[in-house]
Copies of this chain bind each other. A is one copy, B any other.
Amino acid sequence: MPKQVDHQERREAIAHALWRVVDQHGWTRATLREVAREAGVSLGQLQHYFASRSAMLTFAMEFVADRTADRVTRGLATLDQPPHPKDVLRVVLAEMLPLHPDARASSRMSAAYVLEALHDPALRRQAGLGLHEGRATVERLVREAIANGQIAPDRDPEIETDLLLALTGFTPLLELGVVEPRAALAAVDQYLDRLFAASP
């Protein structure tokens, strides 16, 4: 089905262009017109692939989520098999923070997407679904680690999951240079070491 592949490739090229615009110039510049210019297509061509800014953003966020998942998968492949859940969480958290260029671009897209979603019910639904899914994955890891005695049994799996996800709060601190990447990673490690400390 060469036509469909072509269509998908073109959409990905446009998502890449949107990504570059957001990363380099910021969210407010990410209009259909500006993205068309960056992608080297006409506004009409862009609109053939994405009927609205919202449709373009939704596709771009799926694309960002896929790329983040790929980075996590590659990170997990470097661990001893089967990996320790602490190391899995470390890889997941590290890829969610803007610690290197690719993760930084993803992180900026996500932050902009969340802000836009607050005022767009369709984006909001999609963003909520994505986050719920991510949360469920982390909660599964936490529950398994509790069941296996790697996290103390008196820890509440839901609260621990929420606190782990809240560590993405390092994002603005890293972006504005208030916390250095090394310090953020040290804090995440310290946090995970305490979570996985021997049970009482």
Contacts and interface: CB of A to CB of B under 8 A. Distances in A.
A76 B135 CA distance: 33
A24 B170 CA distance: 26
Contacts of A120: 26
Contacts of A175: 114, 118
Interface in A115-156: 115-120, 124, 127-128, 131-132, 135, 156
B112 A115 contact: yes
Classify the interface of chain A: helix, strand, loop or mixed: helix
Nearest to A190: B159
Contacts of A167: 163, 166, 169
Interface of A: 24-28, 108, 111-112, 114-120, 124, 127-128, 131-132, 135, 156, 158-159, 162-163, 165-173, 175-179, 183-184, 186-187, 190-191, 194
B191 A135 contact: no
Give the number of times this chain occurs in the complex, counting copies.
2
A26 B162 CA distance: 26
Given A178-B135, A187-B166, A190-B163, A26 B115 contact: yes
A73 B111 CA distance: 29
Contact of A28 (B28, B132, B162, B178): B28
18 contacts: A26-B118, A28-B28, A108-B115, A115-B115, A118-B175, A128-B176, A135-B178, A156-B190, A159-B186, A159-B187, A162-B173, A163-B167, A165-B169, A165-B179, A166-B168, A166-B173, A168-B169, A168-B172
